Amino acid sequence: MRTQVGIVGAGPAGLLLSHLLARRGIESVVLEARSREYVEKRVRAGVLEHPTVELLREVGLGERLDREGMAHEGVSLRFDGEEHRIDFADLTGRGIVVYGQQEVVKDLIAARLADGGDVRFEVSGVRIEDVTSDPVIHFDGGELRCDVVVGADGFHGVSRACVPHTAHDRQYPFAWLGILAKAAPTQDELVYAHHERGFALYSMRSPEITRLYLQVPVDTDADDWSDARIWDELHERLGTEINEGPLLEKGVTGMRSFVTEPMRHGKLFLAGDAAHIVPPTGAKGMNLAIADVRVLADALTTHLQDGDDTGIDGYSDTCLRRVWRAEHFSWWMTSMLHTDPAADAFDRRLQLSQLRQTVSSRAAATTLAENYVGLPHGSV
């Protein structure tokens, strides 16, 4: 087989890139190791920045998002027994939408297949070769020759190993124990709680499903936490009304920051989690992936249709400016809200001082709000 763009990975980055390219008359093939059922049910991020929502609407993917997504105009920070709302609408004139990553993926798969797009699931044995000359993606049962290859196959995929790179890595001394519960949300917006026993987050996925997190040690086994223990700890740390319900999912997620530089080698381009990871505190992961492929779609269009390499030559630097802004914001949120097991009383008083400044200063609150709702694409 031959195509113009071979895409490894059918997550939001790979699927959206394929969709954007198709609208410009550029052929692509998407290869995914997992089954369609798996990728459509894989629960991940749920916060869509304002620029992400605008882009999805612009390219014809807003119908179910607008019908089922939950628009939020702020978040709350809770500490010292009090809750403080950061009003995004007032501070920035914009907001966010809570709409699960798996829902974005469902919409993209449906759109690609309806347009005759070539998306192949359960493709095994993928390896990428000759990325500096005539790229080819080998897989069990065949090969795909391409003008360019895009690695959108996540942190554990095969693509990043094909790019000579410098890795910037920071692992945090705590993790998140997350649950998905069949319980109607009692809050209209997300609540971030700083507590002496550890951080907690109240969020939601739909009017019937609640998503909640607890800070736990990195070596935590989710099976050691009974449902009753989880609910008791959430009540303690959040200090607010919570509906309890049967758990649909329970798991532990490590916290890390990771950046690959550069995001390109020859005719291979990395996008999304294949190139960078952020701690989930700032809700940036999926949004960064979408920002990557928006830049990449423009760059590949001018390269393949006009022979202009300006965009692809600048791809890595352009994306990394936004990546490092998101890394800083995510680190700042994480450091301000979590209880570091190695921190002393001095450190904890610094955290409380930062929290008080953030909720009492309009300038500080605006900085949080601007970063949270998403800086305009192309502005960083």
Identify the CA nearest to 150 among candidates 286, 324, 11: 11
The 3-state DSSP class for residue 266 equals: coil
Among candidate residues 50, 72, 194, 276, the one labeled active-site is: 72
What does the block give as tokens for 247?
């758990």
**Which residues, in sequence order, are bridge partners of residue 151?**
8, 270
The catalytic residue among 194, 284, 303, 338 is 284
The single residue of 51, 280, 303, 338 carrying the catalytic annotation is 280
Q: CA-CA distance, 233 to 152, in Å (whole number)?
A: 37
DSSP 136: E
Torsion of CA 134, 34, 125, 279, to 10 degrees: 70
- Specify whether 377 is catalytic: no
Strands 74-79, 82-87: pairing kind? antiparallel
Residue 173 annotated among the catalytic residues of the structure: no
Would residue 372 show up in a list of annotated catalytic residues for this protein?
A: yes
Other CB atoms within 10 Å distance of the CB of residue 161: 12
Task: Tell me the two tokens of residue 267.
Answer: 């005719």
Active site residue 50: no
Q: What is the DSSP string of 229-262?
A: HHHHHHHHHH-S------EEEEEEEEEEEEEEE-
Helix axes 12-22, 285-306, angle to 10 degrees: 30
Catalytic residue among 99, 192, 213, 315: 192
What ranges make up the beta strands (E) of the chain? 2-8, 28-31, 47-48, 70-72, 74-79, 82-87, 96-98, 118-120, 127-129, 136-139, 142-151, 166-182, 191-193, 200-204, 209-216, 247-261, 264-265, 268-270, 276-277
Give the residue from 279, 195, 206 showing the smallest Cα distance to 235. Answer: 195
Examine the residue annotation and report whether 280 is marked as an active-site residue of this protein: yes
Catalytic residues: 72, 192, 280, 284, 372
